[in-house]
Structure 1
Amino acid sequence: MNGTGVKKELSLFGDIRVLCFAAMFVALSIAIAAFCKVYLSFGAIRITFENLPILLSSVLFGPLVGAATGVTADIISCIIAANPINPIITVGAAMIGAVSGVFSHYIFKKYSTAHIFISTLASHILGSMIIKSAGLMILYNYPFETIIWRVPLYIFIWAVESTLIAILLKNPIVLRVADIRRQMK
């Protein structure tokens, strides 16, 4: 503890700065999701980039922070929209953050465009195309014929999100944010 009685290290986030950035990514994800729900929803199909902040959180800070960002954003988004929490979709949001973080921090360990594209693709395949689609089919009875359209949709979304993350990771300010986590190790 420091002189103010506030614990400087937080177990999951490791540092108050990481917690603050994760909270900012949660807020961004919720704002993007709200915008897309209003303007880009077509039944079970919704064009959304709400996973972009979750992916960025996991690439910058690792799989646990990424998963926590995804779960928190999903639950708060459901509460704000007065929707019931679908636990399968929440697990999908967690997997998007966790898988991207595992690839970024334990398999590749450096930021290259190819590594970003592979880690975010793996996240979208497991989290968006498989788990969240299963949640929509199981709990909301969407037919497979409708859900299958999520595959090409999320290939498009993956391409856009991966490109944006790769561009952001070339920015020196964003790289300094990533160094916060590395300095703690």
Structure 2
Amino acid sequence: MKVLIALGILFFTQVTLSSEIKTTDSYSYINIENSVVNGSKDIIKLKKFRYGWGIESYDVVESIEVCSTELIFCFRAEALQFAIPKIPPKINAVWEKEDIRYKTKEKTFLKILGVDIEVFVIESTQKDSLSSSLSNEFLYSYDHGLMGFITNSHNQLSRRLYISTSSNGFLFPQKE
């Protein structure tokens, strides 16, 4: 987790936010390793289109279903699915949404430009998977929404860390 904090600080000192990213109709997440180390732009955007929400990566757009209820915040797309209770879970709490099992691994702080953001590290695993090779991790803040996620390949050889490029992420709980 210390590497995550250090990479986040390094990344956010080198990124300029555009006006598009600051809107609530678009949330961008950038792969720190590819962007800072290799200089490429590996960006995933969750955007509101005319037909609804979509996830855009490179030139591919896939629709997203926002499936939040009274009890959970969630979204699902073929490439990425996430759900978290609206009431903060305890460490090691487990819940399920369709064929995905979620578990709270830890609660920690993500330091971005000197600001500590409390995040829950949530692991997601396919329920019918015999191994944890189909797992992803999410960094969710009850004050700022989805601040990042780590995608894993089937063989665990490729892990990609994506961090939000704005102060609030997707599924940001709107305060009344």
TM-score (norm 2): 0.31
RCO comparison, higher one (Cα < 8 Å, 6+): 1
Whichever structure has more strand as a proportion of its residues is 2
Whichever structure has more helix as a proportion of its residues is 1
> Which structure has the bigger radius of gyration?
1
